[in-house]
Amino acid sequence: MTLVYEGKAKRVFKTEDDNIYRIEYKDEVTAGNGAKKDKMAGKGRLNNLITSYFFERLIQEGVPSHFIERTSETEQLVKKVTIIPLEVVVRNVAAGSIVKRLGFDNGQVFDKPLVEFYYKKDELNDPFISDDHVKLLGLADDKDIHELKRQALIVNETLIKIMNEMDLTLVDFKIEFGKDSDGNILLADEISPDTCRIWDKATNENFDKDVYRNNTGSLIDTYTKFYNKLEAL
C-alpha cells in the first residue's frame, strides 16, 4: 500500500478507498522535536489502543473526527483529511513550556482552560502563535479559529470526565485538526500519553511522556499502567 506520510510516531497509507487512510502506529518515541529518540517495543500498540478508546468516547460526545475504526493492535482506519498545520494546546494546570516561558508555578490550576496555537513547522521548532498570526499565515480564518477553539474545549471536557473516572488530572494536551473534502473541520491525529500531561490526583505521579522527557521512569510501564486503568472503566 502506498505510503502517504511518515511522521515521528505514525505512518499513513492509502487504501482502496480514496477517502480512507490507514494509520500505523510506530514503536518510535521522540522528545524535543526529535533531539531525543528511541525505539520501544509495544509503544505503537499502546498509543493506538489508547487513541482509539478516546476517539470512540469523543464520537459518543458528538465531536466530529477522522476516526473510523481500529483494525488491529497497531492500526486504525481514518477519513482522509488535510491537516491544518496547527498544534492546538489546551491547558487546565500550569506545566511544561508555559511554566518556563511565563513563570507560572508548576501545578497552578487555571480558573478556566487556556487554548493556545502553535505553528507546526519543524524548522521553526513549532513556535507559539497568536490568532492574528494564524490568520496572517493563512492557516485558518476567524470562523475556523472559533470552531477549533470550540471543539478543543469540548474535547477537554470529555477527556477531563474520563480522567476523573480514573482519579487522574488532565493537566494539558495537544490536538490537531484536519479538513475533509467538504471543508468540515474534523479532529485528527492522536490523543495518547504522548500528547497529554496526566497526573495522579493523589500522588501527582506522571502518566505521560514526561517520564521519558525527564528520565523519571519507564515509558512502556507508565503507558501500560494508564491503559490498564482505561480498560478497567
What's the min distance (Å) between Cβ of 95 and ligand TMP? 6
Instruction: For the CB of residue 96, give the shortest distance to ligand TMP in the complex, in Å.
Output: 2
Binding footprint of ligand TMP on the chain (CB under 6 A): 87, 89, 96-98, 126, 172-174, 195-197
Nearest one of 155, 193, 187 to 61, comparing CA atoms: 155
Nearer to ligand TMP, 108 or 181 (CB): 108
Strand partners, 13: 3, 22
Nearer to ligand TMP, 96 or 217 (CB): 96
Nearest distance, CB of residue 28 and ligand TMP, angstroms: 14
CB of 213 to ligand TMP, least distance (A): 9
Of 98 and 211, which has the nearer Cβ to ligand TMP? 98
Least gap, CB of 172 to ligand TMP (angstroms): 4
What is the distance between the alpha carbons of residues 173 and 191, in angstroms, rounded to a whole number? 8
Nearest residue to ligand TMP by CB is 96
Contact partners, residue 182, CB within 8 Å, separation at least 6: none
Question: Residues 59, 10: contact at Cβ < 8 Å?
Answer: no
- Nearer to ligand TMP by C-beta: 30 or 224? 30
**Residue number, 20 or 205, with CB nearest to ligand TMP:** 205
Nearer to ligand TMP, 93 or 185 (CB): 93
Q: How far is the CB of 3 from ligand TMP (least distance, A)?
A: 22
State how beta strands 86-93 and 109-119 pair: antiparallel
